[in-house]
Structure formats: structure tokens, C-alpha cells
Amino acid sequence: MIPNDVNISSSSVQLFANFDSGNMLRYERVTSSISAPPIPINSTETDTTNTNHNQGADTGVSSISHPLPKHDIEFNVWTKRDCEGTAKVNGNRSWFYFGIKGGHGKCVRFNIMNLNRQARLFEMGMLPVFRTVPGHEKWSRIYTRPCWELNNEDFKLSFIHRITDSKTSITYFAFCFPHSYEDMQILLNTYDTLYNSQLANHYLERPSIQINGSDIYYHRETLCYSCDQNKLDLITITSYKGITKGREHHFDRNLFPDSPHLTKRPHQFRNKRVFFLSSRVHPGETPATFVFLGFLDFILKTDDPRARLLRDLFIFKLVPILNPDGVQRGHYRTDQFGVNLNRMYLDPDFEKHPSIYAAKSLIAYHHINNSISPKPILSINDIFKDFMVHEKSTSLIQNNDHLLNTSQIQDKSTIRQTHFHQETRFETKTMSDHNIYNNSTLEERTINAENRPFFIERTENGLTSNMTTEIDDIDIQRASPYAFHYVNENLELHHDLFPVVNDDDDEDEGNLRNQMKGNEGSDDEDDMFSSGQNNENGVQEPKSPHLSNPDFLKISPYESGVAYYLDLHGHASKKGCFIYGNHLPDDEQHTDNILFPKLISLNSPHFEYDNCNFTIKNMYMKDRREGLSKEGSGRVALNKHFGILHSYTLECSYAVGKSCNAIPPAENESHGGRVSPPTPCSLPPKFTIEHYRDVGKACALAAIDILPGRNPFTRVAHSTFKTLHTLRDYLKHQIRQQRNKMGNSRTGASQISSVTNNRVKQQQQQYLTRVTHTYRTTNNLATTTQQQQ
């Protein structure tokens, strides 16, 4: 654990933050207990376009919503910025988490002096959280609305709380509901005990004989270790249906550092695609963890046929904390090097971004290994042959000198200091980076290649290569995983597929900037200041080129082994829960793309479909401070490199819902107990842990609703759409209306040929037929066998 040395007493009261995820830089006791007179509310909330008001916000005009009641003790508290005390310190400072001992019976006022400007968040009704141990042990929102004050760059938040429990109790306060790295380890250890049954041999020998309540296949392993030597856990959950004797490969020697004698890889399963779920790439976005746990708890249910169906259909690969070092250190947004890891997916460096490299490598593996294509298109060896651990019948340790020995594996402190030598197979060449839009050469760089380099030029007739290629060269290219790939088919330039943003698509830039005052540290801060360029000094050598191999795209999105990629986040400036998705140029694919979040909205009253964003602009915006594009986020990069159709970021407000939607009742409810929630309230709720968990459950349900006729308790049948087919047609009509409004020349809709649409429809139908046939055949076989017995 990374200690926090703030542990200072003031009379009989002591504040401290020396625990996992704690954050408090320092504090001081205020001698006077007299509250300052209230200051009028700043009028920027009611008129964001007024120039004078905006100038006031920049020059330090304060804004306090109301005076706080009289208090007995007052403290000024300062939070640590991310990477405080290092050269990588940055401006993210919204997360606070500290405890207080003493003060029994006293009303205490806390002034958090230096938060990011989160005016909009607290205007929405955001309340910090507290818990008392022992006593009030469940995290709850504080009871009194806080007041806030903006002073230049610092946002001062003040709130009060009366210490009412026993004199020995400790009360904790946090920005939002905490869940530390240690909390997650304790929880996963509990799951290990509950679900880590050893029934694989039984189902391999007698697959038709089901054991009641024990169909859950659960496997936990260490995907890799972080830079601080924390575990990056990988949880695999499915049913025993389709199990084989074969195990998943040790496909990347950078991963799975534990000894294979101690921890084996999970079994492989026939005809199952992967649902990948991750959270906490931004450490302070704690709502993500509770969405994750709601999803996890639902797919582990043994008494719900929908959960059993999900386990029969998918292999769930779950990474609960992508940034364990940032979580443990009490950071808000970055890792210990000040890096926003959700911009590193295009080319992750295992030495610097081990968790992102590991997640992308894992998805690349399952994209190929779990593909449901009837004919093999790409093999694991094509991509990972220079990284794979060759598994033989004899000991891996004895036959691979470059692997760690047992003592090294047990001592994880040696793992990241062990470097593997990779032989350079290609001769050195020089190539110029070429701009496809203005036909200009940027600068030369040295590369490793076996064949002659080429670049693509834009001409009046389309795109052409600057060289011709002989057949022998192409054959050599196919044999070399890192050689250049020649294009042997005609190319079309689709503006939708490139990071070209036209301001006409969006609201006036000036108005948007004014609306976002007081919102630093959130994703939308990046969106509003997007004119900067990437802050790269020249072209850098790729760190993981095998994970962006264009051959990945040979596998159709409907045949990819990865059915869903869902990364979970928190959000500071918008209400409710919603999804950021990708803009796909094909109407059929984009319909399926937006269908998933629409189905989430039918299963949870707290999910806002109208807040979802699938624009091109939201795929390529650049961060104001870092200069990094959202193209490097997981949802965009994985769609770009692997063609994953259902690739999303789920965002949840820290504070409150936008509305409380009435969701339709479930079909066949009388046959399965009460599955419909009570009539929702008319006012949007202040979000609690239970609200976040409900959204996680809805994400799981949407994955079976999207398959026609599979969910026995579907809500689609009682919605205004009645059938999934009608809902798809409605969404497709919306897409075409929007594209016609924007202009076909810009959206590329007119460039999608009827041949392409027919091919996509055929792939859709083949996938649905294959899934239905596989599931029904297996069920019929099991039923027949049981009847015979």
C-alpha cells in the first residue's frame, strides 16, 4: 500500500488519510467558528452567454449557494494533486478521501480548499459521501447541502457533518462512494471461495448430466503486474456448456506472470464469444466499480434463467481495476506518471502502460481465438509467434531459459525488472511519413522492414501507391508479421473514418466553452478545448505494432471472437448514465451499434439513451492539456484495429439522474417471479450505489435482448415497439434521417454500396442462425440424454 503520511491531531480531533485510496495533502484548524455571510449566487448559471459574467468567473467571483448552519469545529483541507511531489504532478485534484477521529457530538465544518472547478457538478445537486465505523457503516450522501466558492483556479467546497456515533468511532468522507484496490482484493477473494468449484472434469466426462446450482465456471488469474507491483486481475465467467480439455494459450510472454504450475489458464469453450468488461482506468471514477459489481453479481446468479442464458452464450472476461496504482495512490484521473491511460490504446507500451497493453493483447487474442468464422481467417501464430510461450508436455520452466524461475515468480518484485530479448529480423530502412490529405512529407524515420516501404498518395482518381509490387514481395510480406502490408484492392476515401471534424456539426464553440466553466477534470473538459495538436516530438517507434496489425480487420465484426467491449467511467458534468459509442458508416452495423444502448434504456430507469453520443467528433477530440486524441481511447482504438462493433464507454454521473424513466413490464413475469421494478418516482434520484448496480445489471440484460426471442423476460414486447425487428427499423430510420439532414456527401451514406449492405445483412443472419442453432442443439442433446437415463 502507498502510505499517506497525513495523520495530524488538532486538540481532541484527528484527521488522517494514510490508507488505500486516501487523499489529503494537509489541513489546518480554523480558530473562528463564525460563518461568513452568504455571497449571492453567481449569475453565470442563468446566462452563460453574457460576456461580463464570464469574465467574472475567470477573475475570481465567488459563488455560494447558501450559508451553512453554525458549527463547533472548522477545518481547511487541501487535496493532493495527481502525482503530487513528483515531476509528473498535474492539475487533477477532485478526489478527496479522509477520516476523522474524535469530535463526538460536535458539528464539524470542512472546507476543501483546492478542488478542480466542479461548479456544474454541485449545482446539479452533488453531495459528498460519508460512513462511520462502527455505527453507520454503509456509505451515504451527507445530509446537508454543501456550499461552494470559486476563487480564480481553485474551487472551495464547504460542508458540515455532526459526529453522532460513539466516541471510538471513525467517520470517513469522500468525493464519491469509494472502493479501493484493497476492497476489491478482499471481494475477489470471497468470490474465489464461493465460485471456484472444480467441476471441469465432471462436465468433460459427462456433459449431459447437469449438477443443480453449479453450472458456473469461474476462474481468476493475474493478467500482469502494474508498475507498483499491484495485481491486474482477470476474471473469467461462463457456464460449463461447450467446455473442452484444451486451455487458453500463454499467447504473450509479457502476461500471466504466475507460474503455470500454480495457476493454469482457463479452459477453452466451443462456439462462445467474449464479453469484455473493464473499469477504473480513471481511478477517481468510482461509480464505474459499482456498475461493474452490479453486472458481475447478476451474471453469477444461479436462480435467474437470464443469467444462466448469458453464461451459456458468452465467456465474460472482466478486469475490475485497470489502473490499480492510481486507485491505491488516491489519484483522480491519471497513473503515477501523470498519464491518462485511456489515451494509450493505439500503441501501448508494456513497460509504461502494462494494464493497457495487457487488455489490448487479451482482446486481440480472443478476437482470433474465439472467432466463429466457419473458415479460419487468421491464426494466433500469425500475430503472437514472436511473443508466445511454447507450451510443451515437459516443464515450461526447464525448456524456456528466458522465462522466470519459480523463485522469481513468487517474488513479484523481480518481474518487471526481467526483460526479454527479441531478435530483430528485419533490415533497417528509411521511410517518410506522408500526409494523405495534402500530399506533404513530414519527416523521415528509421524502421525495421524486410521489403520496400511505400506510402499512399491522394490523386484525382482516388488513392494510389507510389510503387509497384512484385508477387514475390507480397508473399514475403505475408510471411513477416511486422513487414509492410500491400494493398491489393481498390480503396475509397471515406471522410467519416478519419479524424476530420467540421465545426458545423456542433453548437457554437463559444457557447459551449461558457457552459463548461467549472468542470475541470472531466472528459468534457477535453471536448471543449480541441484545437490543439498532438504533443509528439516527431514520429516515435511503435511499441506494440503486432497489436495494430491490419490483418485483424479480415475478421468480420459479426464473426469476431469479441462480441462486446464495455469500459466503465464516471462523469462530472452531465446527469444520468449514458454511453459514448463509435460512428459507423454502414447503416446496418450502426443500427446494431446503437441498438445495444437503446436496450439498456428499456431495462433501467436510470439510463439516458438521449444522452448517448455516437458522433465522429467524439471519436477524435483532443485533450486541451495533453494534446491526445480520443482516438487513443479503448472504444475507438479497438474498433479501429479489430473492427469490434459493440465497443463502448459507459459514463455515469457522480451526482444525479437526468430523469427517472418508466420502463415497460417484463414478458412472462408471472412464470418467473417479480422481475419488474415498482413504478419509478417522477423526480430524478440522487445516485446511490444501488442505482449504479442497476445500470450494470441492465447492460447484461441488453446483451440477450439483442438476440431475437432469447430473453424469456424481455421488456421489448411490452414497449411501444413490441418487437425487436420494429425497434431496429425505428433506429435505422433515425440514422438515415440524421444522415440525410447532415448531407450524404459528408456522412458517407451514399458511398455504401448495396453489395456491402447485403453482405452485412448476410453476416448478421448467419451469426444469429449459428448462435440459435448451437444453443438449441446443445439443449436438445442434454434433454434427450436425461430422458434416456
The position carrying cell 530483430 is 424
From the list 549, 411, 437, the residue with the least C-alpha distance to 495 is 437
> In the chain, pLDDT over 70 holds for what percent of residues?
67
| Inter-residue contact 267 to 200 (CB < 8 Å) | yes
The partner residues of 232 in beta bridges, in order of sequence, read 224
The tally of CA atoms less than 13 A away on the side-chain side of residue 277 is 25
Element (H, E) at 427: strand 427-434
Residue 250 has pLDDT above 60, yes or no: yes
- Widest CA span in the chain: 85
Tell me the pLDDT tens digit for each residue of 333-356: 999 999 999 999 999 999 999 999
Question: pTM for the full model?
Answer: 0.78
CA 340 vs CA 224, 498, 523, 632: distances in Å:
19, 23, 11, 10
What's CA 12's distance to the chain center, in Å? 43
Residue 702 to residue 588: CA distance in whole angstroms: 18
Integer Cα distance of 574 and 684 in angstroms: 13
pLDDT 10s digits, 158-173: 999 999 878 889 999 9
CA 20 → CA 10, 148, 185, 272, 703, distances in Å?
Answer: 23, 27, 12, 38, 34
Using the predicted structure, report yes or no on whether residue 121 has a pLDDT greater than 80.
Answer: yes
* Phi, psi (deg, nearest 5) at residue 635: -65, -35
Rounded Cα gap, residues 294 and 286, in angstroms: 13
How do the residues of the chain divide into helix, strand and coil, expressed in percent and rounded to 5?
Answer: 30, 20, 50
More confident call, 119 vs 496: 119
Answer for the pair 344, 355: CB distance below 8 angstroms, yes or no: no
Determine the pLDDT at residue 764. 63
Give the pLDDT score at 8.
46
Angle at which helices 305-313 and 754-788 pack, to 10 degrees? 120
For cell 448451437, name the residue. 774
Q: How far apart are CA 126 and CA 174, in angstroms?
A: 12
d(CA 572, CA 655): 8
Q: What pLDDT is attached to residue 376?
A: 85
Mean pLDDT confidence for 397-422: 36
Strands 97-101 and 13-16: antiparallel
> Is residue 129 within 8 Å of residue 137, measured between CB atoms?
no
Cα distance between residue 152 and residue 767, in whole Å: 56
What is the reported pLDDT for 48?
33
- pLDDT tens for each residue of 729-787: 999 999 999 888 877 544 444 344 444 555 556 666 666 665 555 555 445 544 444 44
Q: What is the CA radius of gyration of the chain?
A: 27
Instruction: Give the mean model confidence (pLDDT) for residues 626-642.
Output: 93
With cell 459574467, the residue in question is 53
AA identity, residue 210 = Q
SS3 173: strand
Q: What angle do CA 26, 27, 29 make, to 5 degrees?
A: 160
pLDDT at 763: 62
φ/ψ of residue 237, rounded to 5: -135, 130
pLDDT in tens, 261-274: 667 899 999 999 99
Residues 30 and 11 sit within 8 Å (Cβ to Cβ): no
Instruction: Using alpha carbons only, give the angle 480, 484, 486 rounded to the nearest 5 degrees.
Output: 110
Residue with cell 417522477: 682
User: What average pLDDT does the structure give for the chain?
Assistant: 77
pLDDT score of 741: 81
User: Are 671 and 572 spatial neighbours (Cβ–Cβ below 8 Å)?
Assistant: no
| Element (DSSP H or E) covering residue 660 | none
DSSP state of 629: B
Of the listed ranges 70-84, 190-204, 238-252, 770-784, the least confidently predicted one is 770-784
Label residue 58 by pLDDT band (50, 70, 90): very low
∠ Cα 426 545 247 (to 5°): 105
What's the confidence (pLDDT) of residue 49? 34
Nearest 10 degrees: Cα torsion 267, 270, 275, 276: 40
The dihedrals phi and psi of 565, each to the nearest 5 degrees, come to -125, 120
Note the pLDDT of residue 744: 52
- Range with the lowest mean pLDDT among 301-315, 429-443, 706-720? 429-443
- 81, pLDDT greater than 90: yes
Q: Is a pLDDT exceeding 70 seen at residue 3?
A: no
Q: Is the pLDDT of residue 551 over 50?
A: yes
Active site members: 651
pLDDT of residue 316: 99
Q: Are 642 and 345 in contact (CB under 8 A)?
A: no
- 431-489 pLDDT, tens digit each: 444 333 333 344 444 434 333 333 444 445 544 444 443 333 323 323 333 333 333 33
- What does the pLDDT average to over 358-386? 94
- What pLDDT score was predicted for residue 547? 97
CATH number of 215-371+560-749: 3.40.630.10
Mean pLDDT of 7-16: 71
Cβ proximity of 322 and 289 under 8 Å: no
Sole residue written with cell 518484485: 413
Give residue limits of the domains in the chain.
Answer: 7-42+50-175, 215-371+560-749, 427-497
Mean pLDDT to the nearest integer, 3-27: 79
Lowest mean pLDDT among 643-652, 665-674, 725-734: 665-674
- Tell me whether strands 154-162 and 107-115 are parallel, antiparallel or unpaired: antiparallel
